[in-house]
Amino acid sequence: MRDTSWSQEQAMTHWNTIKEAIHKIYQQQASSLSYEELYRTAYSLVLHKHGDLLYNGVKNTTVELLQPIVEKLINCSDEDLLKKVNEIWKNEKLCIVMIKDILMYMDRNYVPKMKLQSMEQLQTSQFKHYVILY
């Protein structure tokens, strides 16, 4: 029988690949990414029992990437606020879809077993909490 367990180091290496991709997505540099490779990386993390690392990592990374957005809105004039929020939300929706595509396997297998929010629900609620309600 083959050992399919991974060391924490291997898991972190795979997670860092996903994290870098999320950063690129938020920086609107997604065209340089290989979605097939990222999907396989996320699939491997879940398969090797590191779904919690992946899910919580995405959650924390999203919060981290929303902070500069909040700063932009704080410095925005009252006249431009709604226009700016709408523009930011359009960009956020694109990011959410791209990240959801990478994490499709986790969304279909890990998330229901753990009774967690889907990636789309999680990221939308984080945007609401950390940007809109702020």
What's the structural domain count of the chain? 1
The answer to pTM > 0.85 is yes
Residues of the chain with pLDDT under 50: 1-3
CATH number for the domain including 112?
A: 1.20.1310.10
Q: Within a domain: residue 106?
A: yes
Q: Give the list of residues 6+ apart from residue 26 with CB closer than 8 angstroms, or none.
A: 65, 95
pLDDT in tens, 55-93: 999 999 999 999 999 988 988 888 999 999 999 999 999
> Dihedral angle at the C-alpha atoms of 101, 103, 108, 111, nearest 10 degrees?
-140
Q: Give how far Cα 65 sits from Cα of 3, 37, 71, Å.
A: 36, 23, 11
Question: Three-state DSSP class for 27?
Answer: coil
How many Å apart are CA 108 and CA 126, to the nearest integer?
20
The whole-angstrom distance between residue 59's C-alpha and the CA centroid of its chain comes to 6
What domain range includes position 47? 8-132
- Residue 58 is encoded by which pair of tokens? 């995405």
